[in-house]
Amino acid sequence: MAIPTVMGTEIEYGIIVKNDPDFDPISSCVLLVNAYREDPEGRILWDYDQENPLADARGFQVDGEKYTPNQQENIARNKTLINGARYYVDHAHPEYSSPEVTNARDLVIHEKAGERIVEVSRREANVLLPEGATMLLHKNNSDQKGNSYGCHENYLMDRRTSFKRIVESLLPFFATRQIYCGSGKVGSENRNQPCDFQISQRADFFETEVALDTMVKRPIINTRDEPHADREKYRRLHMIVGDSNMSEYTIYLRNGVTAIILSMIEDGAIDRDLSLINPVRAIKEVSHDPSLSREMQLDNGKRMTAIEIQNEFLDMALTYAAKNPLDAVSVDVLDKWQHVMQRLADNPMDLAREIDWVAKKHILDGFIERKGLEWDDARVKMLDLQYHDTRPDKGLYYMLERQGRVERICSDEEINAAAHRPPDDTRAYFRGECLRRYPGEVFGVNWDSISFAVGEEPVRRIMMNEPLKGSRAYVEELLDKSESASELLANMG
């Protein structure tokens, strides 16, 4: 039986400061992250001791040095938030890592809360910029100069599940999933075949099937073995293949469908061989074909389109659901997946209310026709970028949302609440509540631990190796009777 679903996302945002000839992305990211001030003292560290980014899921340790910043740099680059999330500087990008959640609907709520948080900090940071300078953030994956930044998805999995089996099932799934998860992009990059418009922002940047690196020779399947949980029981599948999405509906499918497929892999319910001869070439070919008509060569000699391959996964998922009752959110995900696959087969452009790449193409097609432009016109590329603008009054996606032209999954009230409140049903609740109740006594935080510095006592670390413990049901009574961190530690024995 597959383990319960636990998932989260890490979104790297594009950053630029207009009218600043001395723009430096790293210092601008530091300014941005520190402009969001939940912790007035600004003393809480991110616990790098608990991380090991050089461990490979294939069973070995990669050569290299683990980077650990000094205390001053650590504090300047990291913010752990009372909603259980992490907001920090990752290389030259601000990154928002959502708290752990148990279903795709909560994932949408908390990823969207991240958009609200980065926008609040952007406005605060703008006040500190030189006169005339303006900081802009985009929830996209490419700067159109050959550089890509990621949307990383994380899923808890049973460590007993063969990694080889995971890879075999996910390669054809990820090569074709973009037909309902892509954000759309004008043109091509990274020395790929020229095109006017493609489905995915990320597809051009994948160069190998399986590897550890996320920035050079990017793999479709990332092999980082950093579970942030009990290593004997779990692995964290760290997926870097997806686009950063604006549409709530697209996010819902991106994570919800993938979670169902992973449960099926654990339960041995992927019973068809859909292996592609060349998945790296296929992911690019699918992206460059908005008509969705191109066929790909399978190892078994068959030729299938992306729609046909995804329909095979859908058919297996329906069979799985008939034998293994799903929770209400997963049932809804399955229904929406069926709806989208039918529309993709009939006419993809009918999905402008649901799917990012279709919504964007609909806007761009109309703009090009009205203005009599070509696809390589700079104004078309600017409109592409504006779709991802995080400013609610400027971003094209937010314009569609205001006009009621996109399908919603959750409400603004739920999103705004999630910016300041952790999910109830994972350890993120304990993390967030400790930060809210005892901020002056929290010393360091990681996904699977929290450390307290109480008086003159040595720093004490509480391990949180079980992602579903530390939930409100587990710890609310304990927290309510602990007025300080010292009382909490005493009450925990």
The CA-atom distances, in angstroms, between 479 and each of 418, 467, 486 are 20, 18, 11
3-state secondary structure of 424: coil
The CA-atom distances, in angstroms, between 385 and each of 125, 143, 334, 364, 445 are 21, 9, 31, 11, 35
Query: Among residues 431, 320, 405, 347, which one has the least CA distance to residue 50?
Result: 431
Beta-ladder partners of 290: none
Residue 237: φ, ψ to 5°? -80, 115
- The pair of three-digit structure tokens given for residue 486, joined into one six-digit string: 């010292």
Task: Tally the C-alpha atoms within 13 A of residue 385's C-alpha that lie toward its C-beta.
Answer: 16
Q: How far apart are CA 106 and CA 316, in angstroms?
A: 25
Give the rounded distance of the alpha carbon of 262 from its chain centre. 16
Looking at the chain, the number of H-run helices and the number of E-run strands are 15, 20
Print the SS3 string covering 186-249: ECCCCCCCCCCEECCCCHHHCCEEEECCCCCCCEEEECECCCCCCCCCEEEEEEEEECCCCCHH
Give burial (CB, 10 Å; 0-12/13-18/19+) of 324. middle
Contact 100, 6 (CB under 8 A): yes
Beta-ladder partners of 137: 15
Contact 380, 184 (CB under 8 A): no
- The pair of three-digit structure tokens given for residue 63, joined into one six-digit string: 């050569």
332 is catalytic: no
Cβ-based neighbours of 260, under 8 Å, separated by 6 or more: 317, 320, 326, 330, 333, 334
Q: How far apart are CA 423 and CA 419, in angstroms?
A: 10
- The pair of three-digit structure tokens given for residue 20, joined into one six-digit string: 């600043």
DSSP string, 322-357: HHSPPPHHHHHHHHHHHHHHHHHHH-GGGGTTT-HH
Select which of 47, 90, 425, 448 is catalytic: 90
Active site (catalytic) residues: 90
